[in-house]
Amino acid sequence: MSKQSSSLLATDEQQAFELLIDHHPTPTWIINRETLAFLEVNHAAIETYGYSRAEFLAMTIKDIRPTEDIPRLLELMKLDQSEWLQPEQWRHRRKDGTLIDVKIMAHLITYNGQPANLVTAQDITAQVQAEKRLWESETRYRQLVEMSPDAIAVHQAGHVVFCNPVGFQIMRASRPEEVIGKPIEAIVHPDDWPAAQDRIRRLLAGEPVLYPVEERYIRLDKTIVNVEVSAVSIIFENEPAIQIIARDISARKKNERRLREADERLRQSEGKFAIAFRSSPVPLALTRFDTGQLVDANASFFSFIGYTRDEAIGKTGDELGLITAQQRELIIETLVSQDGAIRNLEMTFRAKGNQIRHCFFSMEQITLAGEALLLSTFTDITERKYTEVALQQKEAFTRDVLDSLTAQLVVLDAEGVIVTVNAAWDRFARENSRFQGRDIFVGVNYLDALERAITRDNDQSAQKALTGIQAVMSGSQPTFSLEYYCPSTTQARWFIMRVTPLADLKQGVIIIHENITEQVQAHQALQASEEKYRHLVETSHDLIWAVNNAGEITFINPAARRVFGREPAEMIGRPYVDFTSPDQAESIAASWATMINPEDRMINYANWFLHKDGTRLLLNTNAVIHRGAEDTIVGAMGTSQDIT
């Protein structure tokens, strides 16, 4: 028989056709292919969409589509017949206005002499939403790792097996494969490798190792980069491994080197000091030890603060508005606690015109011309801060309708005997009989076949299927479904069985089997990816966190126990300022303001926080703004390190 037969259905066959359609467990309808008007709908469609049969027959398929999906629908209707064999995912609108996600199978038929389409619409809303939630969870953990401002990598059995984008940048890799698989020994500088190798051995043996440490890495271009490394032993993809977090400290080392050189010149002679002081590109200032008044400064300092020499000399930082009273107290406390010297204290200054300047601030007491003075060095990192923050074909006869379904379909009578199957079921049964020894064709008692499988193979899926089918046949259960694993000789496969009663066949049932291997494998892959990234985040030695645009903590990893003495659950949902030192409000506000920049560059800042026992913690933080739809700011994320 042709696939577009214009013959009329025989009366008995027409009735059987309509009976199967009406009792199909999936919403099913027939539409005029030219006018798009509904010609027939089944009970499942009426129950799912909320329209009565009369309402459906007065509508076209455009009436159950969102307005924005109609152009795509009209284009699809223009396609050749061969294009209708593939399932399509659409959104449909119920009578109450709610949208559902559906998988559509549409097939060309002739119905009552009219060119028509037979359509099934499987509701996959729950599946789509579940996969969306899992995708969002995986995305969150992946972003925490991939958007970390620090390098995060994992090496296993001496080779790199994972690295985030920052790690590739530090190594100056143009492709991931240039780093993945590379021996860790080839990355660590030869002079640093013995100590690093010993730390790796001790970590894998479960021994305590003091971190962070400074190491030198050899980039792919053979240049050397200074990094500050923290490491922890983890289980990565079921095998022991080492996770490292590395921060590029090249700029800091360069600044420290400059400061050491400047200090050496100062110790040599006051004359040489004066020359170095005036000509240094680093902002330098001399203030009185007792009053804090500015005595002298170089041109770089005045350029840094925006005031002229005449405006600034004799004034204190408070009077010029460069620092707050709290910052002054912090400087004094740090001087006292560090034997009269400050080294690379990250601070924020407010220059003339309220311009915010970020720098590494160092201060040391010197004697110049017999007077006790404080020499302050300001390494401008303002620019660096901004840079960082950046259904199936049917014909006239019932047989063709059934055979056009890609899902395996079988009809059982009240005794469980197979009375009809479609081509897909026939193919499936023949293929599986070759390795399972089962013949499940027309005339065979399907329930007996299941019982033989249970007795012979102790097949638990067959037991569940038998129990469910019998429950539907007896009327004790309206419907039944079962997902089960059924591998072929060459591949893993998963199926779902759906059982629906046929009242007109005196307790017979329709059974449909569908291959859901792709969905299951996609779900498994997504779940594995989510677990991998979550594990990397949750085992990190450093704090990894995220806040919303209200400043409320939406995620913080278990490192919170070590740093704050708190469980993550105690902190999530609360404003992060609840855990900061009371005197940090202005400094924190300034840090947030700096994060919001045109290029969303990462910023680095340090603030005082409070441990659960009340002690103060100084956390060095790298953070970056996180934007959502329409470029709106939805929060921030970053890493923090306890440098108390």
pLDDT tens per residue across span 615-630:
999 999 999 888 887 7
Enter the DSSP assignment of 463: H
Common-topology check for domains 142-248 and 252-380: yes
**pLDDT, averaged across the chain:** 85
How many helices (H) and strands (E) in the chain?
Answer: 22, 25
Interval 484-511 mean pLDDT: 81
Third-level CATH fold of 252-380:
Beta-Lactamase (3.30.450)
CB 365 within 8 A of CB 371: no
Evaluate whether the domain defined by 398-520 bears CATH number 3.30.450.20. yes
Interval 570-591 mean pLDDT: 88
Range scoring the smallest mean pLDDT among 6-10, 419-423, 503-507, 604-608: 6-10
Euclidean distance between the first and final Cα of the chain, in Å? 83
Q: What is the pLDDT of residue 1?
A: 30
Question: Which of 223-237, 409-423, 509-523 has the highest average model confidence (pLDDT)?
Answer: 223-237
Q: What is the pLDDT of residue 48?
A: 94
Position 535 confidence tier, pLDDT thresholds 50, 70, 90: confident
Here the tokens at position 579 are 């855990």
Third-level CATH fold of 11-123:
Beta-Lactamase (3.30.450)
Evaluate whether the domain defined by 142-248 bears CATH number 3.30.450.20. yes
Position 427 confidence tier, pLDDT thresholds 50, 70, 90: confident
Domain boundaries, the chain: 11-123, 142-248, 252-380, 398-520, 540-642
Q: Who wins on pLDDT, 427 or 162?
A: 162
pLDDT tops 50 at residue 248: yes
pLDDT tops 60 at residue 87: yes
Q: CB under 8 Å to 251, separation ≥6 — which residues?
A: 381, 384
CB 357 within 8 A of CB 304: yes
pLDDT tops 70 at residue 506: no
CB 508 within 8 A of CB 544: no
Phi, psi for 195 (deg, rounded to 5): -65, -40
Interval 234-248 mean pLDDT: 93
Interval 102-108 mean pLDDT: 89
Here the tokens at position 347 are 């601070």
Range scoring the smallest mean pLDDT among 122-131, 189-198, 388-397: 388-397
pLDDT tops 80 at residue 2: no
- What's at 591, amino acid-wise? S
Phi, psi for 240 (deg, rounded to 5): -60, 140
The CATH number of the domain covering residues in 540-642: 3.30.450.20
Beta strands 213-218 and 99-111: pairing type?
unpaired
- Reduced to 3 states (helix: H, G, I; strand: E, B; else coil), residue 103 is strand
pLDDT tops 90 at residue 570: yes
Give the CA dihedral 349, 355, 359, 364, nearest 10 degrees: -40
Q: What is the pLDDT of residue 436?
A: 43
Residue with tokens 């970053």: 638
Query: Strands across the sheet with 371-380, in order?
Result: 294-297, 284-288, 371-380, 355-368, 341-351
Here the tokens at position 276 are 């170095």
Here the tokens at position 313 are 């000399």
For 546-568, b/e burial (b = at least 16 CB within 10 A) is: bbbeeebbbbbbebbeebbeeeb
pLDDT tops 90 at residue 389: no
Q: What is the pLDDT of residue 17?
A: 65
Q: What is the pLDDT of residue 3?
A: 37
Q: What is the pLDDT of residue 438?
A: 44
Report the C-alpha gap between 391 and 28 in whole angstroms.
8
Per-residue pLDDT tens for 331-384?
A: 888 888 877 788 888 988 899 988 998 999 998 888 877 788 889 899 889 888
For 478-515, b/e burial (b = at least 16 CB within 10 A) is: eebebebeeeeeeeebbbbbbbbbbeebeebbbbbbbb
Per-residue pLDDT tens for 131-164?
A: 888 887 776 767 777 778 899 999 999 999 999 9
pLDDT tops 60 at residue 5: no
Per-residue pLDDT tens for 544-564?
A: 999 998 889 999 999 999 999
- What's at 224, amino acid-wise? I
Q: What is the pLDDT of residue 4?
A: 41
Interval 101-113 mean pLDDT: 90
pLDDT tops 70 at residue 83: no
Report the C-alpha gap between 180 and 201 in whole angstroms.
21
Which run of H or E residues covers position 520? helix 517-538
Position 460 confidence tier, pLDDT thresholds 50, 70, 90: confident
Q: What is the pLDDT of residue 268?
A: 64
pLDDT tops 70 at residue 435: no
Using the Cα atoms of residue 317, residue 323, residue 326 and residue 329 in order, give the sign of their dihedral.
negative
Position 186 confidence tier, pLDDT thresholds 50, 70, 90: very high
CB 346 within 8 A of CB 334: no
Position 399 confidence tier, pLDDT thresholds 50, 70, 90: low
